[in-house]
Amino acid sequence: MRTLSIAFLAATSLILPSVASGQGYGRGGMGQYGPPAPKLPGVELVGPLDTALARAMLKLTADQSTRYRQAYESFMVATQPDRDSANAAITKMNEKLEDGDRAAAMFYVERIQDLGKTLRNRQDRFEGDLRRFLNGDQVKAYKKWREGEDDAAERKQRENQLRWDEAGFRGNMGGPRATAPEIKTAIPIPTAVAAPMLGSPAVQVGRALYVAGQLGVDSTGALVGSDLRAQAERAFVNLGVVLQAAGATLRDVNALTIYVVNYRPADLETIRNAGAAYFRANGPIATVVGVQSLSKDGALISIGATATSPR
């Protein structure tokens, strides 16, 4: 199907120069079939570094963890309505784009951008307040995470240009709605997670997100402990980091696949406690598989996931 779509695009560029060339102004200014994709909110749609990730990535003390959790939960509750509204508007915008109606999609863009501006201002204030109880190194570590998230948002913006170009093409051609091929995009390796031995940490196809099995290792690839509880806790943290790098959260996880070396039924309670946030109401389905060994010597658990990206 992808090959046929490419061939169709190539053929129409030859027989319809007024559409393929007359309206194309290149990536530097106008998009191929109209204006460039509007700039949409980024990390502010997900929110700040969540408490579990902050505790691991920033090496928070017990007192700092408590203060961070209180500030984070208060922030997320206060901003949830705006984030829900923004994501709902993005869904509507994407539906219009899939129908080739860029004008209708633009109706939602202004609303999304206004909400994004409000959310970014509030998140900037939240992050500024962290200086009250974080030390200099912790602030630097948080800034490094934030820069990585902003870079990911820029990459997402470039991907969105293709979606807007496809909508412009369908709008110019008229007729029945065309089905655009879903593009596979590898998620860059977050700085807080060790590079996988093979492949990418995650790939996104459309809104479907596939996360490779995460081990209980730190950012250098060293095991965080020799017991299942310690490794399971870190594996869940690493899973959260990769999800956040892809613009998703644990709420978007549909299924978990958990491999446990020398599995025993009693291990379920350990896994449930280590990943408690994933196993609350409306949690994902989970499959636990016992194995003889994993790709890294001494590793006791690997946790992979599939999720639906909100954007």
- Residue 224: its pLDDT value, please? 92
Q: How far is CA 51 from CA 43, 46, 71, 236, 241, in A?
A: 16, 13, 9, 13, 11
- CA–CA distance, 51 with 224 (Å, rounded to integer): 19
- Residue 200: its pLDDT value, please? 86
Q: Which residues, 6+ apart, have CB-to-CB distance to 255 below 8 Å?
A: 284, 285, 286, 287, 305, 306
Q: Residue 177 is encoded by which pair of tokens?
A: 């709605």
- Residue 72: its pLDDT value, please? 92
Chunked in runs of 10, what are the mean pLDDT values of the chain (311 residues)? 37 34 36 65 85 85 92 91 88 82 84 90 92 92 85 74 66 49 76 84 88 91 92 93 85 93 94 89 90 92 89 60
Q: Looking at the chain, how many residues does it have? A: 311
The pTM assigned to this predicted structure is: 0.55
- Residue 121: its pLDDT value, please? 93
